[in-house]
Each structure stands twice: as C-alpha cells, then as structure tokens.
Amino acid sequence: MQLKVTALSVFLYLGVSAQNIQNNPGSNHGNRFEQLGTILPTPNVYRTASGAPGQAYWQNRADYDITAYLDEDKRNLKGSETVTYHNNSPDDLDYIWLQLDENQQSTLNKADYQFSSTLPKSLNDQQLKTTDLPAKDNGHGVNLEKVTDASGNPLKYTVNKTMMRIDLPKVLKKGEKFIFKIDWNYNIPNRIKMGGRGGYENFAEDGNDLYTITQWFPRMCVYSDFQGWQNHQFTGRGEFALVFGNYKVSMDVPADHIIGGTGECKNYEQVLSSEQLSRYKKSQTSAEPVEIVTLDEAKKAEKNHSKQRKTWVFEAKDVRDFAWTSSRKFVWDAMGVTIPENNNKVMAMSFYPKEAYGLYRKYSTKAVAHTIKTYSEFTIPYPYPVAQSVEASNGMEYPMICFNFGRTEKDGTYSEGTKNGMIGVIIHEVGHNFFPMIINSDERQWSWMDEGLNTFTEYLTEEKWDNKFPSKRGPAWTIVDYMKLPKDQLEPIMSNSENIIQFGPNAYSKPATGLNILRETIMGRELFDKAFKTYSKRWAFKHPEPADFFRTMEDASGEDLDWFWRGWFYGTDPVDIAIDKVTMASPDFSTVKETNETKYKVEEPLQNPFEDISKIRNKEDKTIAFEVDKDKNLQDFYYRYDRGQEKVDTNKEYTLKTEGNIALDKKEQEKLKNINAYQIDFVNKGGLVMPVILEFTFEDGSKLRDKSSAQIWRHNEKKISKTFYFDKKVRSIQLDPMRETADIDTSNNFWSNDGSSSETSKFHVFKEKQNGTVRGGANGKVNPMQAAGKKN
C-alpha cells in the first residue's frame, strides 16, 4: 500500500532535524557504534585490512604416506607413516609439533582438563573404573614404536599429553622440507561406552564391529603467521587445527570388510567383486543411488568372519586430514553428481548397516548430493571427487567423509523426528567439507568459525531441501531462550572453545542466527551473499581468523558492521526493544501572517573572551597577512570594530529583510485535513541495538511496514523516537512483526489505539516561501552578527 505522504514534505511544521535534536539530548551511548579498532589485530603483509590474504601470505604443508593394519580380534590399529613437512614460513624452525589425539582416551596421557564434580545419586561400573587414585593405565592412547628421520636415524622427541615435539637434527629453514617416519599402534576404544569421535561400535546380535578410524595417526600441528605453533591440548571438545597436504593411505583389513575413506580408492578392481565393480561404474552416471554392496550381501557377510585380508589404497589431494570406516556390515550405495559452478563430477556415497537401511537407502545419498550442490552456490564450488555419509550412530566430519546417525526401529519404522534429525545431521556434517575442511579455520580456538558458519549454511541448505523443514538453528526466534539466560550463564561468541558453558547455543546457534539476521534484516540477501562468497573464495585452502571474516564481510558489502560484531559476537546483551509511548497529532491550520522584514538591535559582535597564545603570536607575526586586510569589501563594521575604530551603537537598528510564512488557502487545507501524525518513542531495554521494524495496521484494515537501520540508535542507544504521517488513522503498531531480530520480550512490542500509552496533540501546517528565506540555527533564531554586517 502506498500512502499519499510525499507531497506533504513542504507543509510540515515539525522539522526532522530539530525534532531529532530534541529527542536525543546529549550522547549517552556506550560505544556500541565505535569501530572495533585495536580489538582486531593490526593488518600486515600476511593479512590485509580488507580481510584478504596479504601479498606475503604463507602456510606450511605436510604430505603423508601411511600404511595401517586393522586387527579385528585384538581391536588394535597398527600404523606406519612417512611425513614430508614443508617449511614455507619466513622463520627458521628447530623443532616441530604433532598431535596425538588418541591420548585423550588414556587415563595417564590425556590433557586432563577437568570439570568440577558433585556426588551422584548412583554409580555404574564404568564410572567406578575412573575413580582410581592415582589413575591406573586403561591401556588406551598412542604407543610410539619408532620415530626416525628418512634415513632411519632416531629422532629426539617429547610427549606432553596430547602433543608431541620432535627436536630437529638441524634448523629447518625457509623453503626447506623435512622427512621423518613414525611407527605406532593403539587399542581402539569402544566409542559407545567411552565416548569420543573414533573407535568401534559392537553389534551384539550378530557379533560384528563397525569402525570409525579418526584422529588415528600422528598429525602435524599448524604453524601460522598469527600464532606460531597451535599446540593447545586436545581435550575432546575444541576440535582441530590442521595443515593441508596430499595423502596416500593403504589399509589392511579383513577381506569381507568394506571401506569408505577420505579421497578416492585406487584399487577397486582388486578389492571388489566383479558384480560390485560393475555396479560402481553404473552408479557414476546414475541419477538415482545404486547399491554397490546390497542389503543381502551385507547380511550374508555378517555371518562369516573372514580370516583373509585385503588392502585398500586411497589417495587424496589438498586435504587437511584423513579418516576412514571399515565393517562387514555395510550396505554401500552411490550416485554421480555434477557441480554446475565448476562442472566437477562427484561421487555421492553412503555406507550404513542394515539397522539404518530403511532411512539411509531413501535419503542419505540424495542429501549428500543436495548438500554439496547447495553449499557450492553459497560458498565455493565443491572441489573434491567424493562426498560420503556413514551411519555410525553419531555425528562427526572429515574431508570427503562424515559419520552420522539415522537408524530405524527394529521393524523398519521411524518417526518424522528421526528422519528430519538424520537429514539435518547429514547436511551439517557433509557441509563441514566447506567449513572447516576447505575454508580451514582454527577449531581449537574458535569453534564458531567452524560450527557457526557451517550451521548457518546448513540452515540455507535445509530450506532448499524442504521449505517446511523444522530447522532448530538459524531463524532468529529460535535463539531467544538462550539469549534470555542470566548473564552468568552466557559468554561471548568470541570465547575459546574450552571455556564455553552453553556450547551448542554459543558455538552453533548464536553465530548462525547472527549471520541469518545479517542476511535477512541488516544487509539484505544480495549484499550478504556476495560478501559471504567473497570470504569463502578468499580463504579456500587457507587459514582464516575472525578478523579476516569480519573485514571481508564489510569490505565486499560496503556496510559498516562493527556495531554488529561488537554486540553479537563480543558481547552478551540481548535484544529487547520496547514501544514506550505513542503520541498522536492532527493538523492545526491557525493563520500565520507573513513577515517581510525583521529589525535587530546589534549588540557587541561575538568574540572569544580570552585571547589565547595562538591569537597573540599570529597577530605579532608580520609574515601573516589576514584575509580581512586584503579584501576591501570586508573593511566595514567588523574591520573597524576589531581595530577600535568604531563602537557599537546599541540605539541604532539594523534591518534584515526576510520571507516569512504564508497561511494555507482552503484548497490546501482540504488536501491535508486528514493527515495524522504519530510519534513513537522506543526504549532499548536489552542493550543490543537492532533495526527498528514496524508494521502499521490502519482502521480500514490495510497494513504498511517500515524499517529503520540500527544506525538510528547511534546518538542515543537507550531511547529514540520516530515520527510518521499518514492520510488515514492507525489502529495498531507491531514492532518486529516477523520476529527477525531475536527480541527476547515481545510483550512490549505492540501498541493499539485504545487510548492507553498514548498522548494527543496538534501540529501547525503552513506553506513556506523558498526564495530569499534566511534560516538560523536549530532554534530558528538569526545570529545578530548576520544583521550587523550591513546597515541601512
């Protein structure tokens, strides 16, 4: 609906500038609109002020050649790796750091970041096993067998809990590489009982295990321009900071096992039956998932535990990690997917036991394909040849492979909640291929750069899967319960992963919600999407930090968002904007007579009451020629007065001709008689500023929406007012009608014209001549010195 208010602008007596000054007496802001300044690191040759990698950006690299032997009887994994570490930094390195994440399962070598504990109401056997003082060795963790250089010479090393330092035999200089070898083994933990991301799950009914082999080999830590070595301990929460490299991995497993892993298998001809190989080739061009290992074949394999062995060989390029899964229980299906943006041919695949067949067969591989295609639209084109989903009763992500849940009841039935939960977790975990597997942030420090950015893009992807998908993270209204919590239960998004209390809302939901608010409410989709894609493109296969994201989003959009980063990411204030009062006004057509001239009596011209040191020295400086001395036209009253040549005659009148106000004629009054004015006063109760979004409902049932940017709060962060003029009467006003700002209290967001919380008044309406009009300051007065310049 378009209201006829544009023609009114020249007739309104209530001046906007004067009104704003009256409504904002003084600047009582709390720096919510100040620039982040020194909060962000200083730009340099490695990271620019625009948020892009600098001209001297560098990152180190590690290539791996690994062999692994899975001993199913002992549930032990034995490995040997050759690592080629490339020092691309400008620094000389005399030691290097590696991660031994499996030590977190050890009672002796774990990081031991304890939580406070209270007396439970009951204890089980598993809990009692952890109460030994001092702790007894539970047999888990990495057993290092040998650490040597490329020639087999032993290397000196030190293990500090989940970190391992290797002291180099000589300094590793810029541009050099160091090759070393490690042999190790560890007992694979029961991840269902012990927790953790990797391990085995035992199916008692058929006596088989399903292995998820993750964080399983000694991995290089990141050495970066912004931190040096990222060697913070792995506690089980803060995830991983890893370097890119190429991998060749050989896995020796029981002959009846099926393997899925990071990268591409290079020897399907040797490990698959002829029928399975034929199905695999068919799946490459199929628009629907094809079972490569069928349900019947998986059920048959469960009954016969082969003592024969097979070796699967995988290769992956430009990945930051390698994970794999192995079991004889797997059904395996696949289909080919083409990414339009780069014409990349991708194999979307799923591995799952019979317990998940009813759900995974229908949805998993299609969800994988949908995810990589949709993320490619919003970030960068998916660059890898494979994307896989594995049903393993949990959720965790690695390059090109992820582990999810999604099992049916024993009779094959499932609920809508289970189905949607499975689809959501598949989208989320597959989406992690982009954040952080490719756009490679430091998860150990900043969980939100991994989980938050991914959860946001997951929300966009769920929406494109099903417009009615019951997303629990992303929409603004879903974060309200968290934002309502007492301040002592909240911490800023910009908090270290280990220190966050409410980890899910803080690392996943709040950053995802914030990005959605930016996209839908603050920036708009076009500006946001361009900036988000720019960030993804700039930092693909690199190591971004928070400042790189913040700066890129502003650089690519032209939006000053420091107020938003400061409030939403660095603060804990919620949004609670309230309609405090509404003042209604109608026109008053009182006659205003025209005034042609105004007479002023001149007082002494304004001068500073004290001549400061600069004025004195300038007057004494003979090299300074004052402009007033050069211009004969200015040698009038002021020139002579300044030099004591003329005194003010307070009895003399000086006249200033003006064009005044002219009353409206009846035709114009008739045109404006139905105009209604509304001043709405708002109070910021929560502290976090946001755009002010209003929906007006008029007495004739029509509606109109208006939005003011958050900048309306910049002069007064506590109270603001906004005035509207309509040619019909307002019945009610709703603040934030679509619940898009995460306002925690909507009870104060509504006003209705029932006489409560409102005042009535009149406003004068007149017509103003434009030519020759003299305007003064905010108070409408004319400076006497203006009149004193010319005498009659």
* Token reading at 645: 């040549």
**pLDDT at residue 526 tops 80:** yes
Looking at 119-209, list the stretches that DSSP marks H as alpha helix, in order from N- to C-terminal side. Answer: 125-129, 191-194
For residue 533, give every residue at least 6 positions away whose Cβ sits within 8 Å of its Cβ, in sequence order, or none.
378, 379, 380
Pairing of the two strands 344-352 and 309-319 = unpaired
Taking residue 364's Cβ as centre, other Cβ atoms within 10 Å add up to: 28
| Amino acid 667: pLDDT | 80
Separation between Cα atoms, residue 194 and residue 105, nearest integer Å: 8
The DSSP 8-state label assigned to residue 190 in this structure reads B
CB-count exposure of residue 690 (10 Å: 0-12, 13-18, 19+): buried
**pLDDT at residue 772 tops 60:** no
* Mean pLDDT score, 189-207: 95
Mean pLDDT of all residues belonging to the chain: 88
| Amino acid 598: pLDDT | 55
Give the relative orientation of helices 525-539 and 546-555 as an angle to the nearest 10 degrees.
130
| Amino acid 596: pLDDT | 54
- Start-to-end CA span in the chain (Å): 55
**What are residue 537's phi and psi, to 5 degrees?**
-70, -45
Find residue 719's DSSP bridge partners. Answer: 683
Give the relative orientation of helices 357-378 and 416-431 as an angle to the nearest 10 degrees.
40
Q: How many CA atoms lie within 13 Å of 244's alpha carbon, on the beta-carbon side? A: 17
Pair 573, 686: CB distance under 8 Å: yes
Give per-residue pLDDT as tens, 324-335. 999 999 999 999
Cα dihedral sign, 665-670-672-673 = positive
Check residues 633 and 545 and name the one with the higher pLDDT. Answer: 545
CA 240 to chain centre: 18
Q: What percent of the chain has pLDDT over 90?
A: 74
Give per-residue pLDDT as tens, 567-615. 999 999 999 999 999 999 988 776 555 555 555 555 555 667 788 888 8
pTM for this entry: 0.88
Query: How is 316-381 classified by DSSP, letter by letter?
Result: EEEES---EEEETT-EEEEEEEEETTTTEEEEEEEEE-GGGHHHHHHHHHHHHHHHHHHHHHHS--
Pairing of the two strands 309-319 and 264-265 = antiparallel
3-state DSSP assignment of residue 253: strand
Give per-residue pLDDT as tens, 144-167. 999 999 999 999 999 999 999 999
Separation between Cα atoms, residue 185 and residue 78, nearest integer Å: 4
* Mean pLDDT score, 39-68: 97
Pairing of the two strands 156-160 and 245-254 = unpaired
| Amino acid 616: pLDDT | 86
Which candidate, 241, 244, 215, places its Cα nearest to that of 84? Answer: 244
- With vertex at residue 376, the alpha carbon angle to CA 371 and CA 378, rounded to the nearest 5 degrees, is 100
Separation between Cα atoms, residue 544 and residue 538, nearest integer Å: 9
The DSSP 8-state label assigned to residue 743 in this structure reads B
Rg of the chain taking only CA atoms, in angstroms: 36
Separation between Cα atoms, residue 49 and residue 36, nearest integer Å: 12
Which candidate, 703, 763, 768, places its Cα nearest to that of 733? Answer: 703
The DSSP 8-state label assigned to residue 285 in this structure reads T
| Amino acid 127: pLDDT | 67
Pair 765, 12: CB distance under 8 Å: yes
Q: Give the containing element (helix H, strand E) for 69.
A: strand 61-71
**pLDDT at residue 26 tops 80:** no
Separation between Cα atoms, residue 52 and residue 57, nearest integer Å: 10
| Amino acid 21: pLDDT | 37
Which candidate, 550, 585, 577, places its Cα nearest to that of 716? Answer: 577
* Mean pLDDT score, 431-451: 97
* Token reading at 749: 């967001």
| Amino acid 627: pLDDT | 66
| Amino acid 650: pLDDT | 60
Separation between Cα atoms, residue 511 and residue 744, nearest integer Å: 17
Give per-residue pLDDT as tens, 742-768. 999 999 999 999 865 566 677 766 666
Give per-residue pLDDT as tens, 247-300. 999 999 999 999 999 999 999 999 999 999 999 999 999 999 999 999 999 999
Q: Give the containing element (helix H, strand E) for 93.
A: strand 93-99
